[in-house]
């Protein structure tokens, strides 16, 4: 499978990139961004592109991409609704339209957030914008489209946020994460699990369109079990509720 990845320099996107480069089913990753990711790998091709509203000059590069993992996003803190909508909604739809113009059958996986409101009635601006985008994506194309709604995401495998304050918070939460994972497993995940879940949904689909933390963890568990099974190893040992049709550890 050939993957088109947006947001490879962010925490979620860099976690997804690590899993893609390490996965035997991923043959090639085309990472689109305003600057290089800083990663070098035989599978990785980087496309530096400045205009996230217009891909007409580079869309031909998307021809061989089977799936898009759209991990680009920003915090709404301190932003006007117009600015947040432009970055969150307009950037995403422009990428989806470009991909589907040349690969109408390509799968699109979008990283939204827990609490997004497709009815757009929430008093929280970010929830209205994210929810409206979810609805627009699903109405845009008949191609497989999966909406990921993670809650708390703990960085793993050396992944870090570009925001120093967030890194300090993650470092403080790190020792507590095993407890959160044990007693609040349906509300937390990691960048590793999210990356595995993205790959599984992109390749095989998912039990439902909107994937909350429990569904993300279940997809990741199923993918990790398949990987370990091919390697002749046992089942993985992380927690989280199972989704229909997926085994639990």
pLDDT in tens, the chain (249 residues): 999 999 999 999 999 999 999 999 999 999 999 999 999 999 999 999 999 999 999 999 999 999 999 999 998 989 999 999 999 999 999 999 999 999 999 999 999 999 999 999 999 999 999 999 999 999 999 999 999 999 999 999 888 887 777 778 788 888 888 888 888 888 999 999 999 999 999 999 999 999 999 999 999 999 999 998 887 776 555 554 433 333 322
Q: What is the pLDDT of residue 117?
A: 96
The answer to whether residues 153 and 194 touch, using CB atoms and an 8 Å cutoff, is yes
How many helices and strands in the chain, by DSSP H and E?
A: 8, 9
Predicted pLDDT at 21: 98
pLDDT, residue 201, reads 98
Q: Using alpha carbons only, give the angle 54, 58, 64 rounded to the nearest 5 degrees.
A: 125
Domains for the chain: give ranges and CATH numbers: 2-154+189-212 (3.40.50.720)
**What count of other Cβ atoms lies within 10 Å of the Cβ of residue 45?**
13
Of 230, 202, 233, 209, whose CA–CA distance to 220 is shortest? 202
Name the nearest CA neighbour of 191 among 219, 150, 236, 243: 150
Q: What angle do CA 151, 83, 135 make, to 5 degrees?
A: 55
Output the six-digit token pair for 170.
Answer: 């993650």
Q: Can you give the pLDDT at residue 164?
A: 76
Of residues 217, 210, 177, the one with CA closest to residue 193: 217
| Closest among 237, 136, 238, 146 to 185, alpha carbons compared | 238
């Amino acid at each position: 499978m050939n993957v088109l990845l947006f947001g490879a320099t962010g925490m979620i996107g860099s976690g997804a990139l690590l899993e893609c480069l390490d996965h035997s089913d991923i043959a090639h990753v085309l990472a689109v961004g305003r600057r290089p990711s800083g990663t070098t790998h035989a599978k990785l091709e980087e496309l530096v592109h400045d205009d996230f509203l217009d891909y007409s000059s580079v869309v031909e590069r998307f021809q061989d991409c089977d799936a898009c993992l759209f991990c680009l996003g920003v915090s709404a803190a301190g932003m006007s609704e117009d600015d947040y909508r432009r970055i969150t909604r307009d950037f995403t739809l422009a990428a989806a339209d470009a991909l589907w113009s040349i690969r109408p059958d390509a799968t699109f996986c979008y990283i939204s957030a827990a609490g997004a409101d497709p009815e757009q009635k929430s008093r929280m601006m970010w929830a209205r914008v994210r929810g409206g985008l979810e609805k627009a994506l699903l109405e845009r194309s008949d191609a497989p489209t999966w909406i990921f709604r993670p809650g708390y995401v703990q960085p793993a495998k050396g992944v870090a946020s570009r925001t120093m304050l967030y890194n300090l918070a993650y470092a403080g939460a790190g020792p507590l994460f095993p407890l959160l994972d044990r007693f609040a497993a349906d509300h937390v995940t990691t960048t590793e699990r999210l990356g595995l879940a993205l790959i599984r949904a992109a390749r095989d689909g998912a039990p439902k369109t909107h994937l909350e933390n429990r569904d993300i963890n279940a997809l990741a568990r199923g993918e990790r079990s398949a990987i370990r099974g091919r390697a002749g190893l046992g089942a993985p040992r992380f927690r989280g509720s199972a989704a229909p049709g997926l085994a639990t550890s």
